[in-house]
Amino acid sequence: MSYVDEVIEQVIVKYPDQPEFHQAVREVLNTIRVVIEADEEKFRKDALLERLVTPEREIKFRVSWVDDKGQVQVNNGYRVQFNSAIGPYKGGLRLHPSVNIGILKFLGFEQIFKNSLTGLPIGGGKGGSDFDPKGKSDREVMAFCQAFMTELYKYIGQDTDVPAGDIGTGAREIGYMFGQYKRLTTSYEGVLTGKGLSFGGSLARTEATGYGLIYITDEMLRCHGQSMAGKTIVVSGAGNVATYAIQKAQSLGAKVVTCSDSTGWIYDPDGIDVELLKDIKEVRRARLTEYKNARPNAEYHEGRGVWQIKCDIALPCATQNELHLDDAKQLVANGCYAVCEGANMPTTEDATQYLQDNGVIFIPGKAANAGGVATSALEMSQNSERLSWTFEEVDAKLKAIMENIYHNIDDTAKKYGMEGNYIAGANIAGFEKVLNAMTAQGIV
Ligand code: NDP
């Protein structure tokens, strides 16, 4: 058996209850096979792949907090410090009932290659809790965040591990966590990114993942002799990534006709009204049924279904494994030209294969949504310098980073004889830099 297959098998046997982690490992290892097999015995002797798929550290802790009724609640908290070969661990904190160690290992593993692709010195990590912020009062969210940080602060720091937001962790949660870190350590440092602008946050960080997704999509289109103007786009999600992707796409002349949340989805033939969406989701924290009430021309449907709508470009921006094989078939039948992932691993393995087999351009999340973490790294730089850059400065750097990522994955795919296969391009380009650093640093 080849070394790559051996390690994939080991991961499945060793961690049978972590299917998302298997999926991420399989996808990456299968595409970097060409690099590994060029010097297989050396890599096997160095246990390079075993080290790559094993986190440097997995931290699990209890989070006890008191709800508004005086009842004590207990959640699990986690931080997976996956790989620090090229810099301090960097990756978000997810607050969602589905969070478990397997989900965080998949996200942390992906983060290694994504962070490498940004060209910035950041390693891979991820964390979070099975706490559900939905339906909680502000005081309860604060109580949870303070209890969570009371344990997490021991393991993080501006030069060791710098967490950020993710699903369920927005500006409010980062603010409460930062306040607690400062209280516990008496240190005012850039230990978290996604902070508010008045206490070390970076302009354009909020917009960065969504904007970055559109910048890389636009560059890909330009290189294929096309442009964003006039394109019909289907987006899933109604959170941070989706909102700013819709806003930037529409500012470049595309029409985005859908969005969705965990209970239903909107089809708005006139184009999604972003200001209304932001008011519903960011201010009122309400459901998408409110959107339909304000826009009579729009349709609201329960459940999932955005991928049925005819489009030129599909941007899955909600969560993992939300675009299935049937959806991929529908997109192909409707003449979809490209799928660019705003979320992490939103497309299932069989759907990805189907899209690629049917000539749909596919940019994987680790390249397409890297704008968020790249701008987080820019926030770290500003914190270290104790300076704040203007929105335009940060946005220009973000755009340059995303264009650079596109050319890097495109060139790498060509170099290895897989032109147009951006999954292979992203995995190999991300891996080569990490490999180089791991090799140079010896067996650690
Ligand atoms: P948010 O919490 O802001 O938004 C997530 C959106 O997806 C919400 O509309 C939510 O619905 C919906 N959603 C969540 N879980 C499910 C589910 N199981 N089924 C259907 N819909 C669901 O998160 P973000 O926008 O920050 O993140 C979205 C994705 O992008 C994630 O995969 C994240 O890891 C990835 N990402 C985020 C980055 C960032 O900077 N924020 C950076 C890189 C990647 P509801 O409104 O009902 O909760």
Q: What pLDDT score was predicted for residue 319?
A: 95
Q: What pLDDT score was predicted for residue 227?
A: 97
In a mutational test of the pocket of ligand 1, which residue from 262, 277, 291, 301 has the highest number of ligand atoms less than 8 Å from its CB?
A: 262
242 alpha carbon to ligand 1 midpoint, in Å?
8
270 assigned to some structural domain: yes
Is 352 a pocket residue for ligand 1 (Cβ < 6 Å)?
no
* Last-in-domain residue among 308, 342, 368: 368
Asked if residue 361 and residue 212 are part of one domain, the reply reads yes
Asked if residue 213 and residue 178 are part of one domain, the reply reads no
Is 369 a pocket residue for ligand 1 (Cβ < 6 Å)?
yes
2 alpha carbon to ligand 1 midpoint, in Å?
37
Number of domains in the chain: 2
Report the nearest-CA residue for atom 23 of ligand 1.
167
169 assigned to some structural domain: yes
285 alpha carbon to ligand 1 midpoint, in Å?
14
Is 319 a pocket residue for ligand 1 (Cβ < 6 Å)?
yes
Is 167 a pocket residue for ligand 1 (Cβ < 6 Å)?
yes
How far lies 346's CA from each of 176, 236, 268, 305, in Å? Answer: 29, 10, 22, 14
Dihedrals φ, ψ of 278, to 5°? -65, -40
In a mutational test of the pocket of ligand 1, which residue from 166, 263, 285, 373 has the highest number of ligand atoms less than 8 Å from its CB?
A: 166
Asked if residue 226 and residue 264 are part of one domain, the reply reads yes
Q: What pLDDT score was predicted for residue 150?
A: 98
Please give the number of the atom of ligand 1 that sits closest to the Cα of 242. 25
Asked if residue 357 and residue 233 are part of one domain, the reply reads yes
368 alpha carbon to ligand 1 midpoint, in Å?
15
426 assigned to some structural domain: no
Can you give the CATH number for the domain in which 233 is found?
3.40.50.720
* Last-in-domain residue among 336, 351, 368: 368
Asked if residue 342 and residue 272 are part of one domain, the reply reads yes
Q: What is the pTM of this model?
A: 0.95
d(CA 375, CA 92): 13
- The tokens describing 320, both together, are 């993992």
d(CA 400, CA 109): 25
Strand, coil or helix: what is 128?
Answer: strand
* Last-in-domain residue among 337, 368, 399: 368
Asked if residue 212 and residue 114 are part of one domain, the reply reads no
Pick the catalytic residue: 90, 105, 114, 126? 126
Q: What pLDDT score was predicted for residue 20?
A: 97
Residue numbers in the chain where pLDDT is lower than 50: none
CB half-sphere exposure, 398, CA atoms < 13 A: 33
Q: What pLDDT score was predicted for residue 118?
A: 97
Rounded to 5°, angle at Cα 95 from 340 and 106: 50
Can you give the CATH number for the domain in which 168 is found?
3.40.50.10860
Asked if residue 157 and residue 243 are part of one domain, the reply reads no
Asked if residue 355 and residue 221 are part of one domain, the reply reads yes
415 assigned to some structural domain: no
161 assigned to some structural domain: yes
Neighbour tally for 347: CB within 10 Å? 27
Q: What pLDDT score was predicted for residue 273?
A: 98
Report the nearest-CA residue for atom 4 of ligand 1.
239
258 alpha carbon to ligand 1 midpoint, in Å?
15
195 assigned to some structural domain: no
Asked if residue 162 and residue 241 are part of one domain, the reply reads no
Is 318 a pocket residue for ligand 1 (Cβ < 6 Å)?
yes
Is 344 a pocket residue for ligand 1 (Cβ < 6 Å)?
yes
**Residue 268 region, left (φ>0) first, then alpha (ψ -120 to 50), else beta?**
beta
Q: Which residues, in sequence order, are bridge partners of residue 192?
A: none
Q: What pLDDT score was predicted for residue 335?
A: 98
167 assigned to some structural domain: yes
Report the nearest-CA residue for atom 10 of ligand 1.
261
122 alpha carbon to ligand 1 midpoint, in Å?
22
* pLDDT tens by residue, 160-179: 999 999 999 999 999 999 99
- The tokens describing 112, both together, are 């290694």
Asked if residue 219 and residue 142 are part of one domain, the reply reads no
Q: What pLDDT score was predicted for residue 441?
A: 97
Task: Clarify whether 126 is annotated catalytic.
Answer: yes
Q: Mark 370-390 as b/e (b = at least 16 C-beta within 10 Å).
A: bbbbbbbbbbbebbeeeebbe
Is 237 a pocket residue for ligand 1 (Cβ < 6 Å)?
yes
Q: What pLDDT score was predicted for residue 179?
A: 98
Q: What pLDDT score was predicted for residue 235?
A: 98
70 assigned to some structural domain: yes
Is 316 a pocket residue for ligand 1 (Cβ < 6 Å)?
no
d(CA 364, CA 242): 16
* pLDDT tens by residue, 265-284: 999 999 999 999 999 999 99
Please give the number of the atom of ligand 1 that sits closest to the Cα of 168. 2
Asked if residue 249 and residue 130 are part of one domain, the reply reads no
167 alpha carbon to ligand 1 midpoint, in Å?
5
Asked if residue 336 and residue 212 are part of one domain, the reply reads yes
Q: Which residues, in sequence order, are bridge partners of residue 338?
A: 313, 361
Q: Residue 152 belongs to what domain range? A: 55-188
